[in-house]
Structure 1
């Protein structure tokens, strides 16, 4: 099921009716972002968009909303596009458990077709445009950024592939936001403590498996390339960079090689964020680009970010939920049923669990807040019974409405860490966190009247399958 490269995935989307080509002339601003925002507003079945006639950019092609729906997410996994979300979750969890998948090393890659080492001008190479009206400049926000642990450079797992926003600051200069909770911040600290620049490679227009892995909150020594292989079911292909000891996704459309300049900071932002707010301006590190490769007539992939839901929510929904699920299963293997952390990158997470005894669900919520992702996100945890589907919001709201007692089941934990982009943090990076226990009380908790639950009629599951099959015809 593995896709050869980014174009292979786009071809699959087109065959499945999940790619809409827009051939009429559009302006980079505001048309491309406006069209992508409109697609997000139309629901969770919308196609990717391909713009092929862009005013001011001869022959440029820009792909948007590539992973911006559950059908496209299913196709990323090689599953039928009508696969239900809950089925996608458990299949992703099954593949996640096959990690690590060995990589496949190649000598050359398609992006080696064109190489630029002098007079680099990103404004000429890339079709740049602002995503939101208040953005402080042009941004690259769906590229895989590769860096390596300088203290343990032979450890393949400690090479990081992550997605970080980057503002184009000049012809060969980018600003980057290395969030403290993310791995690249560790690598940058190591480099700056040595007084060295940090080598990086930036890959744009990649196969969806590595983009998904790069957006997954893995443990520090877990390789995104080995996880991408697990996601796609076969070894992921990589190729060495020329300027540094870094591995690059083989199927990328465009690659920038450079280095984060030690000790240099420049004003960056504001930027319209996944929280639905502008991030404001901050002093951020700077990347100097030394080499560019790209395919002939490259396809530029971009990601619109704004008020949820947008592509980013589909792209990081399941792959945020599954690591939390697996890490909680390690602590409570017989109790955890499913985890839904799809809302605003897991600032809210819903956990379905069995209970051992009264108060157990609250402990599950606190454990979630101490996972690698929970430390910087997971501001609110909702815990529900094992028979409540955390992906079915009406069921979750029913549990909150009928099981939660405001006096006993609302736990506020003061002054914990949170990502600085959370607009409710005060000061930035610090917030109170909340656990809502919407599970049925269990001894020694004996309050409430829950001894007469309503059962569904016999045969409901059989009829669900029958109706789904009829709808697919």
Structure 2
């Protein structure tokens, strides 16, 4: 059975994680407001079947919990994500096998790569091309594009798979960028200058040609995960999706441009960008929790729309966490962990807190063996993977600290850090242009904090022993817990509100 948006919606419905809304709702602000409330409550995915001004239903909040992100990848829990990360890490930095078993394991991974190669379908046979609209029939106003926040500049596509090709070598780039509607058949695309689409456009300009671009809407969430994984492996996003899903992605050629798109998508927009055409884009609410600025962005002119019969539109929106993008980031954190261990050997674990926008602050643990190791680990972290370039704060703790427990991390900061000795700052480094905290847009500082136990010559005095229960007494209490009449109290399940955490 082919993987697509509809099959995932069916899965969510079977598991009681989809709510269908039949009341009429407005795509201007109302859909986002309902969805935001549901996200904060950890509620189910939503399918709005009666959208004002449109005949197309809107699906949102599909990956609003980490559990549902795992389901999108045919997994049941986060630990399976780490196993996937180990597989990708071996592909990234393969080592000569020392044992027959290692050779067999690597052979299985290569076989998975072969299985993950895309499968091609002829034009017109793919579900996404059941209906073809060209010329005057191309009308973006018929789509239920949402406007999430009151001061947003207009209607947007937020979860479209944006596909371009390198004008020189034809290698595709598949990413998720925001697009703002400008007219009946045009939109501006907002991408950072370092992203693949922007590089392709610069090359097209140098070659004095237009850049072809396709937007796939209503796609299998697995493809979103593949497009959101910017790890340095010499494989296309289609191969990544094949590795994630265990089978090759079904692709088909567009009708008017030379680009392959997901055959099972609900809708495809086909267009071109003239490198000389730009229009103001924004402002829009972004993941930092603020409205971004207005920026001249490339103008996309669409000449063709193809779609399924009775398509479904998939969308999301950015903002202060929790949001869907934060849940995706938590899942990606698990995938990155074994890859990061390969890049920086001393790191035992790392965590990107959702409250820190899933990338602004990192907590890493190390098995400390020598003085200065925490600082080295922090510096290595910033250069390990491209997505860590904009991480402002790195806190390094000992491996015994549970980095996902804020109480333990705050204890380590409070009991192991001398700000004069253990805090270091790197000034004037590349910075996120959406981050208003820096004095100069695109340029700012980074802070590393060594919250590990200090060893000579980092300190001139002995460190006190950590308080720990007597092992024999602890074991005795475990065995007699019910005898004490406390069997109804589950150990480890502590209400954070008891300690002043308003959760």
Q: Determine if the TM-score, normalized by the shorter chain, exceeds 0.5.
A: yes
Matched with 1:307 is 320
Matched with 2:47 is 50
1:164, 1:176 within 8 Å by CA — same for their partners in 2?
A: yes
Matched with 1:194 is 207
Deviation at 1:451, TM superposition (A): 4.3
- The alignment status of 1:219 with 2:232, answered yes or no, reads yes
2:3, 2:264 within 8 Å by CA — same for their partners in 1?
A: yes
How do 1:174-213 and structure 2 match up within 5 A?
174-213=187-226
Matched with 1:90 is 82
Given the alignment, which residue of 67, 81, 98 partners 1:71?
67
Matched with 1:403 is 416
Secondary structure of the residue aligned to 1:192 is helix
Matched with 1:338 is 349
1:401-430 C-alpha deviation (Å, 9 max, x unpaired): 222221111111001112211122332111
Question: Structure 1 residues 76, 375: CA separation in 2 closer, same or farther (over 3 Å shift)?
Answer: closer
Secondary structure of the residue aligned to 1:316 is helix
The alignment of Structure 1 onto Structure 2 pairs a total of residues equal to 453
Deviation at 1:16, TM superposition (A): 1.1
Secondary structure of the residue aligned to 1:256 is strand
Question: Structure 1 residues 11, 443: CA separation in 2 closer, same or farther (over 3 Å shift)?
Answer: farther
- The alignment status of 1:328 with 2:324, answered yes or no, reads no
TM-score with structure 1 length normalisation? 0.88
Question: Structure 1 residues 56, 382: CA separation in 2 closer, same or farther (over 3 Å shift)?
Answer: same
2:66, 2:330 within 8 Å by CA — same for their partners in 1?
A: no
1:175, 1:268 within 8 Å by CA — same for their partners in 2?
A: yes
Deviation at 1:19, TM superposition (A): 1.1
Is 159-168 or 114-123 further displaced after alignment?
Answer: 114-123
2:185, 2:301 within 8 Å by CA — same for their partners in 1?
A: yes
Deviation at 1:461, TM superposition (A): 12
Deviation at 1:289, TM superposition (A): 0.9
1:183, 1:220 within 8 Å by CA — same for their partners in 2?
A: no
- The alignment status of 1:105 with 2:102, answered yes or no, reads no
Superposition RMSD in Å: 2.7
Distance in 1 of aligned mates of 2:414 and 2:80:
28
Secondary structure of the residue aligned to 1:29 is coil
Deviation at 1:23, TM superposition (A): 1.6
Secondary structure of the residue aligned to 1:238 is strand
Secondary structure of the residue aligned to 1:423 is coil
Distance in 1 of aligned mates of 2:461 and 2:205:
57
Deviation at 1:252, TM superposition (A): 1.1
Distance in 2 of aligned mates of 1:120 and 1:418:
43
Question: Structure 1 residues 23, 455: CA separation in 2 closer, same or farther (over 3 Å shift)?
Answer: farther
Distance in 2 of aligned mates of 1:161 and 1:9:
21
- The alignment status of 1:367 with 2:380, answered yes or no, reads yes
2:230, 2:387 within 8 Å by CA — same for their partners in 1?
A: no
Secondary structure of the residue aligned to 1:402 is helix
Q: For structure 1, which runs of at least 5 residues remain unmatched after alignment? A: none
Matched with 1:394 is 407
1:327, 1:371 within 8 Å by CA — same for their partners in 2?
A: no
Distance in 2 of aligned mates of 1:461 and 1:121:
69
Deviation at 1:78, TM superposition (A): 2.0
Deviation at 1:185, TM superposition (A): 1.6
1:357, 1:444 within 8 Å by CA — same for their partners in 2?
A: no
Given the alignment, which residue of 206, 227, 232 partners 2:245?
232
Secondary structure of the residue aligned to 1:11 is helix
TM-score with structure 2 length normalisation? 0.83
Question: Structure 1 residues 291, 382: CA separation in 2 closer, same or farther (over 3 Å shift)?
Answer: same
Matched with 1:151 is 168
Deviation at 1:444, TM superposition (A): 3.2
Deviation at 1:41, TM superposition (A): 1.9
Secondary structure of the residue aligned to 1:72 is helix
Question: Structure 1 residues 249, 338: CA separation in 2 closer, same or farther (over 3 Å shift)?
Answer: farther
Q: For structure 2, which runs of at least 5 residues remain unmatched after alignment? A: 90-108, 482-489, 494-503
1:375, 1:418 within 8 Å by CA — same for their partners in 2?
A: no
Distance in 2 of aligned mates of 1:404 and 1:439:
8
